[in-house]
Amino acid sequence: PDRLVVAVDGTSGSGKSSTCRGVASRLGLRYLDTGAMFRAMTWWMLAQGVDVHDAAAVAARCEEPVIESGTDPTGPTITVDGTDVAAAIRTDEVTGSVSPVSTVPEVRARLLALQRAIIGADVEPAGIVVEGRDIGSVVVPDAPVKLYLTADAAARASRRAAEQGAVDVAATEQLLLSRDQIDSGRATAPLVMADGAVHVDTTGYTLDEVIELVVGMVDRVG
Ligand code: C5P
């Protein structure tokens, strides 16, 4: 691309969102959470009563919702048909349904077009940190910086449970692992470590340490 794009992929709960927002804030870049777009699509399907396990039904309706993402890292926004869904897309119901919806090729094609339009938009700042599962492999394969973030499942589960005030860490871990499995096993744009990506295992590090590491990598690229 003609601009700085930091492509960040990785497993669920690996610290992607906090890391990406921190890096974008520090460097004065925009931030795009593509997972929020898949969640918004899923929220809309559930609200319409579409069976999220019926790929044909999901494909038939996925052009309908108007999904808009704001890219300010200090306050990213997400709306569907003008309604703020930032909280609604984080419920267990949406989290439990998002991976099947994300396997549907028509859903991916629709959101890919939206993602590329946002990434390439003629705005200031042009540079952007983009997080998801297929950013370095499919969405922006020529991104100048690519990262693949992971963490031990137990560490991910306890972080996620703490964020959500959840008590059942084991159940949280099962949910994360089952999402990873669907995301990695699907035919279209599975979660993989992209060519040229740097693998960072965040297990033993604080958020600030990971942000520092990534800021250093981006600085070296220019
Ligand atoms: O990042 P987050 O956990 O919010 O993403 C929710 C889900 O959206 C993932 O589990 C995955 O199924 C899907 N997703 C995807 N491709 C992306 C981003 C997210 O398939 N680029």
Domain boundaries, the chain: 5-221
CB 148 within 8 Å of CB 193: yes
Q: Find the 192 Cα to ligand 1 centroid distance in Å.
A: 13
Angstrom distance (rounded) from CA 80 to CA 69: 9
Residue 164 is predicted with a pLDDT of 79
* Residue 101 Cα distances to 38, 88, 147, 186, 221, angstroms: 8, 16, 25, 11, 36
CATH code linked to domain 5-221: 3.40.50.300
Residue 165 is predicted with a pLDDT of 82
Sheet hosting strand 77-80, strand order edge to edge: 67-70, 77-80, 83-84
Residue 222 is predicted with a pLDDT of 66
10-residue block means of pLDDT along the chain (222 residues)? 92 93 98 98 98 98 98 97 98 95 98 98 97 97 96 88 83 90 93 95 94 95 76
For 209, list phi and psi in degrees, rounded to 5.
-65, -40
Q: Please indicate if the annotation marks 216 as binding a ligand.
A: no
Q: Please indicate if the annotation marks 99 as binding a ligand.
A: no
Amino acid of residue 145: V
Taking the model in full, what pTM does it have?
A: 0.96
Query: What is the ipTM, given to two decimal places?
Result: 0.99
CB 69 within 8 Å of CB 32: yes
Instruction: Say if ligand 1 is within 6 A of residue 21 CB.
Output: no
Instruction: Say if ligand 1 is within 6 A of residue 134 CB.
Output: yes
